[in-house]
């Protein structure tokens, strides 16, 4: 096959980890495929050597702004696809050309637009933000309809899309994400400290403020407990809100922001923490949770379908938005070491299912379906 892979959205977080994990495995399972990969320069620099059948081209469509990127994707990308004589176009950018010269496969990796809660938050934003987000939503819907196949990282995400757009449901395939090999190599063991770790970007759907709100209660029982978060207090308005809440509750000195931590270094943070907490009200997959499980680390996650699908019975769960529920789940982990050790063993066994090789096999099968 001749495959054009377009990855403008893979700049950070799970989307970036996905491309870095998937691409080498795609090259390994089908070394004779001819591939043109369009990606931002820093992502290309982080990839290992690929077969000579792969062409790597730097593209920074995300720097063009929404209108500029829209024009580029709908006018220039089809021309590149035609010149490359691609059999199929795989897009990780949430959008595909509505008039493509070849079949397209679109990864639906963002669950937020499919939830009512997201649009309730957007309704409180400025008129400019509302107009832009509704324009993105219209283009996403059109792209999902135009795509030959759609990829989802979990069954939960497939259900989110199919519920909102039933006509798209029959062409959605699930390709479960993996985790980087370091998370399978490094094994968690109960550390001496009481650090509770939160790993993720500070975005609209993350509940790090709920995690911080548990600290006054937890510290009455466990004097040494503290919260470590990736990112910085000034990363976004959501991180600023969390930092402000910590000061307001008088626990600011017990909340540490670890800064921008490369994915390979996240394993060290997980190994040093008593448990990982993944506080969120909406996810398509939940990469930090899968990474913790692969290391055999105990984890607490939001009780939502995507986290349940990833964690199964190998994690504790809390009710999203409920401080008392999250505090109780963390308390259970800290108070009962034997139960925590058993949960860690279950986590390690479950974590074995998150392999990028398996993801690559499923993705390539979807590409073959699209080509027909």
Pick the CATH number of 181-351 from 1.10.579.10, 3.20.20.80, 3.40.50.2000, 3.30.1330.10: 3.40.50.2000
Q: Band of the pLDDT at 255, cuts 50, 70, 90?
A: very high
pLDDT at 99: 92
pLDDT at 354: 97
User: Residue with structure tokens 């959008």?
Assistant: 95
| Structure-derived torsion over alpha carbons of residues 55, 59, 61, 64, reported in degrees to the nearest 10 | -160
More confident residue, 87 or 63: 87
pLDDT digit string (tens) for 138-163?
999 999 999 999 999 999 999 999 99
pLDDT at 20: 92
2-178+355-371 and 181-351: identical CATH topology: yes
Domain ranges within the chain, ordered by starting residue: 2-178+355-371, 181-351
Q: Band of the pLDDT at 67, cuts 50, 70, 90?
A: confident
Q: How far is Cα 236 from Cα 231, in angstroms, rounded to an integer? A: 9
SS3 60: coil
- What integer best gives the mean pLDDT of the chain? 93
pLDDT digit string (tens) for 90-120?
998 778 999 999 999 999 889 999 999 999 9
Is the confidence at residue 188, as pLDDT, over 80? yes
Greatest alpha-carbon span in the chain: 65
Q: What is the distance of C-alpha 229 from the center of its chain?
A: 16
The CA distances from residue 358 to 25, 352, 363, 364, in Å, are 9, 11, 9, 10
pLDDT at 123: 93
> How does DSSP classify residue 171?
G
- Buried-exposed string 57-71: b where 16+ CB fall within 10 A, e elsewhere: eebebbeeeeeebbe
pLDDT at 8: 77
pLDDT at 63: 61
pLDDT at 11: 66
pLDDT digit string (tens) for 25-34?
999 999 999 9
Lowest-confidence segment of 5-14, 52-61, 323-332 by average pLDDT: 5-14
pLDDT at 192: 74
Report, at the CATH architecture level, how domain 2-178+355-371 is classified: 3-Layer(aba) Sandwich (3.40)
- Buried-exposed string 26-42: b where 16+ CB fall within 10 A, e elsewhere: bbeebeebbbbbbbbee
Q: How far is Cα 13 from Cα 21, in angstroms, rounded to an integer? A: 12
Is the confidence at residue 17, as pLDDT, over 90? no
pLDDT at 140: 94
Read off the pLDDT of each residue in 166-194 and give the average, rounded to a whole number.
93
Is the confidence at residue 72, as pLDDT, over 90? no
In angstroms, how far is the first alpha carbon of the chain from the final one?
A: 11
Read off the pLDDT of each residue in 352-369 and give the average, rounded to a whole number.
97
**What are the respective helix, strand and coil percentages of the chain, to the nearest 5?**
50, 15, 30
Read off the pLDDT of each residue in 1-30 and give the average, rounded to a whole number.
88
CB atoms within 10 A of CB 253: 9
pLDDT at 79: 95
Q: Band of the pLDDT at 12, cuts 50, 70, 90?
A: low
């Amino acid at each position: 096959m001749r495959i054009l892979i377009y990855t403008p959205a893979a700049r950070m977080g799970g989307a970036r980890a996905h491309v870095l994990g998937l691409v080498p495995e795609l090259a390994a399972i089908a070394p004779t495929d001819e591939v043109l990969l369009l990606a931002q320069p820093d992502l290309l620099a982080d990839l290992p050597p690929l077969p000579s059948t792969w062409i790597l081209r730097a593209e920074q469509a995300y720097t063009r702004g929404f209108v500029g990127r829209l024009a580029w994707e709908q006018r220039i990308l089809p021309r590149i696809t035609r010149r490359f004589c691609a059999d199929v176009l795989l897009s990780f950018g949430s959008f595909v050309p509505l008039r493509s010269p070849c079949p397209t496969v679109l990864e639906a990796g963002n669950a937020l637009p499919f939830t009512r809660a997201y649009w309730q938050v957007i309704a409180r934003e400025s008129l400019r933000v509302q107009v832009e987000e509704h324009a993105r939503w219209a283009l996403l819907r059109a792209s999902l309809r135009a795509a030959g196949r759609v990829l989802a990282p979990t069954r939960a995400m497939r259900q989110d899309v199919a519920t909102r757009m039933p006509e798209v449901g029959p062409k959605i395939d699930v390709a479960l994400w993996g985790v980087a090999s370091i998370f399978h190599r490094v094994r968690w063991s109960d550390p001496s400290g009481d650090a509770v770790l939160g790993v993720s970007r500070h975005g609209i759907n993350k509940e790090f403020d709920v995690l911080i709100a548990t600290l006054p209660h937890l510290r009455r029982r466990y004097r040494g407990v503290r919260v470590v978060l990736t990112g910085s207090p000034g990363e976004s308005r959501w991180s600023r809100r969390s930092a402000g809440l910590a000061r307001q509750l008088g626990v600011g000195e017990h909340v540490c922001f670890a800064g921008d931590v490369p994915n390979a270094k996240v394993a060290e943070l997980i190994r040093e923490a008593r448990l990982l907490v993944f506080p969120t009200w909406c996810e398509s997959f939940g990469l930090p949770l899968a990474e913790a499980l692969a290391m055999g680390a105990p984890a607490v996650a939001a009780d939502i379908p995507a986290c349940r699908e990833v964690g199964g019975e190998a994690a504790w769960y809390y009710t999203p938005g409920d401080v008392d529920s999250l505090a109780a789940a963390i308390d259970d982990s800290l108070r009962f070491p034997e139960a925590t050790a058993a949960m860690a063993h279950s986590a390690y066994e479950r974590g074995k299912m998150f392999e990028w090789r398996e993801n690559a096999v499923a993705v390539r099968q979807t590409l073959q379906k699209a080509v027909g």
